[in-house]
Structure formats: structure tokens, C-alpha cells
Amino acid sequence: MGKNASMGDGRMSVADSFFVPNTSSYHPPQMEDVPLELLPPRLDFPTSTKNHSEMSMLLRLCYTGVNVSRVINSKTPYELKEEPNEMSRRTESSHLGEAMALNDTGVFILQVVIQLLLFALKVETAIAPFSFVAQTLEVRTRELINFFSMILGKTSTCGLHPVLPHKEHAVSFLMCTWSFLVRIFVDFLLGLSFYVCFHALFHHKFDSFPFYFLYDVHMSYMEWFAGWPAGFKANEDVNKILCFFSSVLLTMWNLIARGGVFLRVASFGGTMPLQESVLTAMQDAISVANSTCSAYNYQSSNVSTTVSFSLADRHPEVYVWLDFGVLLTCLFGASVALSAFADATRLASLHLTILFGIFSRLYDVVLSLIGSLSGLFRGLKYNPLRCRVDGHQFQTDQMLFASFFLVVICSLLPAVLVYYVYFMLIGVCVWLISLFFVNLGYLIMYLPTFEVFYWLCRRHRLVGSLYVSRPYVTMTRHFTTAGSRDPCTVQTVDLSLCTSPLPLYYMLTDFLAVLCILQKNVFPTQMLLGCLTGNMERVQFNTVEQLVPHLVANPEDPTCAYLKPNQDKKKK
């Protein structure tokens, strides 16, 4: 259709009825043709269309009209290489493997690669619920399996697009292949650029930058919470217990992160044996915990300086492992590197996530007790069998016990609420940071670089819509038929079929589809409701089923899901 559309800028003549022209009755047009004001009914058609099916039919009719005109003028007609009815059959049965004519060695290598990718896919699927890197690699692996399967001719469905698979044919597969390969190449280049920027700017700042936001800031807030935060007077004993528990957990994490167990285990090249290093780290942790418990006066002002070590001085080999990990993830592309950074964010803030889970559970229990005890004063009781609240008559001792217990719970609520709100805000910030890096990685994965350059170079050859200029009368024939006194008139009309360039947003269909999918995770209503009620549900980041649902069941030979309803109707 693109070839025929590119011919639409020329002028074509379409006759109301075809005949052999009589040169004696031919009236040549003047220098300025007068447009035909009253068109015959057969020439009264719309002058523009944006429907793809109408566009294809109009182009083929115009193509046939050109051949008729060439035959009338004693010229050789153009050859129609492909009939409309044969296109769908060739599209469904075409395989790129036949066109590429792979030899036996190439087929064997591709089959081995597919089997290795299928094995890696099983591992990635098992780890995907716990790791963003596994989810990103799973999407890429499924696309590679589908790509190699199309090369071998195992499938006729191109699943290299998010959400929108289609049947392959020669022209579209070349576009899909170039787009897929360019996306992988651009992702790889951005990954290397990310590594260079990381090594140049952020490599030597990990000695103090993360620990300030993951430990020092929170310890300063614990000191503030130990008194009357913002004039909010809480239960003093409960406040001291919660502050002590939070400070000890933060201090233990700081010890482990700044030269504790994990860093000692990671340093295989050190002079200290592995078992001795683990025991030494455990002894350091126990001694710091004992000193913290004995010297803690519920206002831990000097805890942050007690265990402040220099990571670069005590464990310089950590930077080597850090460089190796960043380089390894960047070689898989910027999307995998950003997913790894999201995983590192969740792992580094694990202590804050644990505290958030503990206080959210405690807050949920307090709210549930207050709701149950307040219903007791109104003579209401929750019926778990019918999942509703029914009326109930309580005894006097039950009412007294409930009154006493309700006063105790209400006195605990302010202190619990302060810590829950603080760690809830921290947990939401960690979640938003991880979500930002993951979504940015998916956007880089489907960056429409090839589509934009292709549109810039060939936008005038891509048909966006068609429109027909006003017809002009170029030839009029007058003749008299047998049995009729009035002369008959036959007019030949000249018109121009013009095309407008394809808009850019048509070429950005895949990228816009990814944006529509990822924007659903920006406003998580379930998480906001969980923050208010204290019943936090695990937020699933697995977007594999949303981005490539057609590759989940069978990546080697996926099905076009949007064709199933039509097929069912035909069967019925």
C-alpha cells in the first residue's frame, strides 16, 4: 500500500464510462480549467478518508484506474504483483526462516540458544516476585525467544511489541526486527553511559551519602520522638519503649552496613579467615548492643558517632565488588541497571521496611481493638460466620473490663500513631523511589529511537490520510443514440489523489502503550487505603503480564489475543 500511496501525488483520469475517444469531438481544456459544479452521481464521493480499510480500497481502485487509462492510451499497464485476497494468506503462512535460508549449523545454534533462554526464563520467573532485575530480564528473555522462533519459522506471530502482537509478513517483520535490535543497542549504550557516570560522579560518595539518609537522619528523629514531638504529648513509658526498640534496630543495621557481617564475608581476599571474620563481626555487634542498652538514657544523642566507621579505610575491597556489580548490570542495559538500583534501594532500606511493617501491624491491632471495644458500648458484636455486625447483650463484668481496656488502648494510640506515621512516610518514599527507577527502566527498554528516525527520514512516503482535489472536466463527448433525438453527453473528469504525511504519534504506538500501562502504578489506591487503615498489602511490581501478556503462556508461538473473539463468532 505504501508503494501505491506514493504514486498518489500524480494526476489520474477516471472516466464515468470507458470508451474509445473520438478525436473529432474532443475539446481540449483551456489554460484555466473550470471546476465541475454539478458532479454526476457516480462521481459524488468523499474527498478525504482516514480509515485504513477505505484507504486501501481507494488506492487499489486508483491503481486499477491508472491501468485502464494506460490501456486506452495504448500503453502497457502496470503489473499488479499481489492481489488483495492473496495478501492475508501469504501473511499467515510466511516465515522469515524460509526467506533467510539458514543452514543446518545456524538452525542448530539458534535452537540451542532458545533452549538456554527457556532455562533462564524458569529461573527468572521464580525470582521475579522478589527482584526487579528478574522481572526486567524476564521481559527481555521472552522477547528474544519469540524473535529467534520467528527466525526459525516456528511461529507466525510477532510478539516484539507490548500488548499488541500481530501476524508477520515480510515488510512488517523487517520493521519489527530493526526496531527491536535498535532498542537493544540503545539500551546497551545507555547502560555503558550510566556506568561511566556512576564511576565518575557517585563512586566515592557511597562512604557517607547513603548512611546519612539511612541512619543519621532517623536517629536524630528518634531523639526528637523521645521528648514531645511538635508539642504532641504521648504516653511516656510506651514512647520510651518504642524509641529504644527503633534506635537499637537502626544501630544494629548501621553496624552491619559499615563493616559488619556482610562486608566481612564479601572480602574473600582479606587476611582474616572467613569463620573468624564472622565471629569477630558477631562479637562487635553484641558488644555494641550491650553498650547501647547499658548507656541508653532514652535519648540516644551519641549513638550515631559510636559506630561510625570509614568504609573505604576498613574495607577497600568493597569498592571492587561494587564496581563489578554495577558493570555487570550495565552490560545488560540501562533498564537492568535501573532495576538493580531499585533492588539496592529496597535492600539498603530493609531496616526501615521492617520497622514500618512492625508499626503498621501494631497500629492495625490498636485500631481493631478500639473499633471492637467501642462497639461493645453500643451493644454490637462482629459475627465472623455471617461477616456482619449483630446486636448482643453483654454482662456487667464484660462491660467493666472493656471500659478499662479501652482506656489503656486509647492511651497507647498517640505514641503508636507518631511512629507509624513517620515510618509510613519513609516506606512510601522508598516505594516511590523504587517505582521511579523501575518505570524509567521500562521506558528506556521501549524507547522509540528507530521509529523516530525512520519517520524523520521517510515521513513523506508514509501515508497518513488521503484527500481528493476538486474534479475538472477535461473532455466532453456528444453523440446521438438510435431512437433518441436528444444528444447524449459523456464527460471525462480529471482529479488528483493526494496524501498527507503520517503523524508521528502513529509511529509511537508501542511507547504510548507502555506509558498507559505504567501510569496505572503511579496512583496506587490500595496502598493509600492501606496506609490509612494500617492493613498494608504487598504492592506487586510484576508488570510482565501487563506489558507482554501474549508471551506469558508460550513465548515461542504466542497467539494474538485480540483475534479470539472474532474466531469464536465464526465458529458459532
Q: Tell me: the pLDDT tens digits for 286-344?
A: 454 444 444 444 444 443 333 444 444 555 556 677 777 788 888 899 999 999 999 98
- The beta strand positions in 457-541, using DSSP E, are 463-468, 472-479, 488-501
Give the three cell numbers for residue 193: 553511559
Summarised one tens digit per residue, pLDDT across range 7-64 is 334 333 333 333 333 433 434 444 344 444 444 444 444 555 555 455 555 555 665 6
How many other β-carbons are positioned within 10 Å of the β-carbon of residue 423? 23
Summarised one tens digit per residue, pLDDT across range 186-202 is 999 999 998 888 777 76
The model's confidence at residue 184, banded by pLDDT at 50, 70 and 90, is: very high
pLDDT of the residue at 79: 62
Give me the chain's average pLDDT, please: 71
Residue 562 has pLDDT above 60, yes or no: no
Residue 129 has pLDDT above 80, yes or no: yes
Query: What is the Cα–Cα distance from 230 to 418, expressed in whole angstroms?
Result: 10
Summarised one tens digit per residue, pLDDT across range 211-224 is 778 888 888 888 88
Of residues 482 and 548, more confidence is placed in: 548
Summarised one tens digit per residue, pLDDT across range 516-558 is 888 877 666 666 766 666 665 555 556 788 888 888 888 888 8
The model's confidence at residue 233, banded by pLDDT at 50, 70 and 90, is: low
pLDDT of the residue at 431: 85
Helix (H, G, I), strand (E, B) or coil at 8: coil
Highest mean pLDDT among 163-172, 248-257, 357-366: 357-366
pLDDT of the residue at 62: 60
Tracing cell 520497622 back to the chain, one arrives at 355
Whether 231 contacts 224, CB under 8 Å: no
Highest mean pLDDT among 168-177, 294-303, 355-364, 439-448: 439-448
Residue 370 neighbours by CB under 8 Å, 6+ apart: 406, 409, 410, 413
pLDDT of the residue at 440: 92
Residue 87 has pLDDT above 60, yes or no: no
Summarised one tens digit per residue, pLDDT across range 249-282 is 888 888 777 654 444 444 444 444 444 444 454 4
Percent of the chain with pLDDT over 90: 11
Residue 235 neighbours by CB under 8 Å, 6+ apart: 411, 412, 414, 415
Mean pLDDT of 454-467: 79
pLDDT of the residue at 93: 40
Whether 238 contacts 336, CB under 8 Å: no
Q: What's the distance, Cα to Cα, between the start and end of the chain in Å? A: 33
pLDDT of the residue at 338: 92
Taking CB atoms within 8 Å and a gap of at least 24, the contacts of 98-106 are 98/153, 99/170, 100/151, 102/151, 102/152
User: Which amino acid, 460?
Assistant: H
